[in-house]
Amino acid sequence: MRASMTAGGRERCKSIECIWGDPNGALGALTLSGMAFKNGRQNKAALNLLAPRPGDSVLELGCGPGMGLRDALKRVGREGFVAGVDHSGTAAHFAAHVVHDYVRAGRAAVMRAEAVDLPFRDHMFDRAFAVNSFQFWSDPARSLREITRALAPNGRLVITQRAANLDRPSNFLGAARGMERIGQATALLKSQGWQIIDERCDRDGDHLLAVSVLAERPA
């Protein structure tokens, strides 16, 4: 793993996985273009399980290039609202461009922020989802408490990860650990009192595409 120092003295990882989790600069823009193409099926799986209703307020954690935001906006309709956060400034800028018209209309917002410190008022959202981003949460336990705060009573969260068959190689970094990461997320949700509503595997024939967990916030 290669690393360099940021202006603030923090070590910045230069591995492929770190670049995918924190896309910045020219290489980051290229990475985001890849995400826009690669994450489509996982976004669909997450939103199908989340089932946002017309008029809902929805939050995406780790919105990347913004394609999940765009898809969520179609589902909540003209009376709904969708917000996205990403700790990469490049990603937040990319996503804001994708949903620019919705932002201007007051139907969407995109911010540079982390799940561990969400810039939203209490109980603002009805639904939340995270696609291929759980592994990049800097403090998963604290992040989940923040999500609980931001969700309304009976609010629901979906965490989705790309996954690969154990006997079938994947061309996507980290897909082989999708099951493991959802297992970690599920255990954490249970430890904080969330109710597990559903756990799902999405397939294309015999090819595993995504694994997800749907949970309802503690009362």
> How do residues 153-162 score in pLDDT, each as one tens digit?
999 999 999 8
pTM, to two decimals: 0.82
pLDDT of residue 167: 47
| 194 DSSP assignment | P
Distance CA 33, CA 124 (A): 30
Domain ranges of the chain: 38-216
What CATH architecture is 38-216? Answer: 3-Layer(aba) Sandwich (3.40)
Task: Tell me the three state secondary structure of residue 91.
Answer: helix
Question: Quick one: angle between helices 89-98 and 25-38, nearest 10?
Answer: 50
Q: What is the pLDDT of the chain when averaged over all its residues?
A: 84
Segment 157-178 mean pLDDT: 69
Confidence of residue 19 (pLDDT cuts 50, 70, 90): very low
How many other CB atoms sit within 10 Å of the CB of residue 81?
20
Sign of the C-alpha dihedral computed for residues 148, 150, 155 and 157 taken in this order: negative
Q: Which of 86, 102, 105, 218 is nearest to 151 (CA)?
A: 218
Higher model confidence: residue 40 or residue 146? 146
